[in-house]
Amino acid sequence: MKKITVFLLLIVIFLAGFGLGFVAQHIKAETQKSLFVYWGAATRAPALEIIDAFKNATGVRVEATFGGSGPLLSALELSRSGDLFLGVGTSSEMQMAVKKNLVDASSVSRIAYLVPVVFVQKGNPKNITALEDLARSDVKLCLTDPTYGVGLFVKEILERNGLWDKIKGRFVEVRSGEEAVANVILGSVDATVSWHVFYYQNKEKVELVWIDPSQIEVSTVPAAITVYTKDKVLSDVFLSFLSSTTSKEILAKYGYITTVEQGVKLTPYSETWWRQQIER
């Protein structure tokens, strides 16, 4: 056990300085351990690739349960088990996890950034061009459950812009951002607000409308090690891998933003705006 612990500590150093290539062939021979991660569903696509890349490089198996940040936080609290928690949406879930002593506050890291955008049907038949258009009586709207995750994040945006009271009670409610976008694609609703990354998975089926930057802020994808982990060192290794070049390349492939430069390239927002968002 001592040999494995020392070896894994060395991996953390190698990850920071040299990358996984240095240690891949050695860790497989040293340990066949696994990790369990509570993972926000909005990052499922890149998450599966990141998990595979980590296993291929280290031999360590990562099991993940995907869902909304709120339900995942409840599951962590009830089970009192698991190694890492990755939320998506507002920062409130991670803040709550810290407040309830469910995660190690010193381990909280930002993995990527998400931008809220308006999704409309192909061709934009309702000519929706701004956030305010969602309050029009002729626009049928779909939003995610406003009590957690992207739904809560969107609710807070609408409240800050004086639109929530105009929209409240007259939208179709669904459980996830992906489901909301799917409703737009199917034509059952005219619009929704969700994460920009869902556009890249549905370019031929839906259109997006960027929201005035003064009306929004970006959301983070935070990750932290739980206080219930049975292998803190290995959890540290995986947390470091989530910020590695390999993981960033996978995230970028799916449109997730990890740097100011990527934000400027993928969105119509300025470098100054992006720096303010990432540094806040």
% residues pLDDT > 70 (the chain): 88
For range 49-66, the mean pLDDT: 96
CA distance 177 to 267: 19
pLDDT at 244 over 90: yes
pLDDT at 93 over 60: yes
The length of the chain in residues reads 280
pLDDT computed for residue 91 by the predictor? 72
- Cα dihedral 76, 89, 37, 225, rounded to 10, equals -80
pLDDT computed for residue 162 by the predictor? 97
Mean pLDDT, all residues of the chain: 89
Q: What is the pLDDT of residues 151-195, one digit of tens each?
A: 999 999 999 999 999 999 999 999 889 999 999 999 999 999 999
For range 252-262, the mean pLDDT: 95
For range 190-205, the mean pLDDT: 94
The model's confidence at residue 32, banded by pLDDT at 50, 70 and 90, is low
CATH of 2-113+219-279, one of 3.40.50.300, 3.40.190.10, 1.10.490.10, 3.40.225.10: 3.40.190.10
The CATH-assigned architecture of domain 116-215 is: 3-Layer(aba) Sandwich (3.40)
Instruction: From 101, 270, 125, select the one nearest 189 (Cα to Cα).
Output: 125
- Residue range(s) in the chain whose domain bears CATH number 3.40.190.10: 2-113+219-279, 116-215
Supply 159's token pair. Answer: 């409240």
Residues 6+ apart with CB under 8 A from 14: 20, 22, 23
Q: What is the pLDDT of residues 105-147, one digit of tens each?
A: 999 999 999 999 999 999 999 999 999 999 999 999 999 999 8
pLDDT computed for residue 47 by the predictor? 96
The answer to whether 221 and 110 have CB atoms below 8 angstroms apart is yes
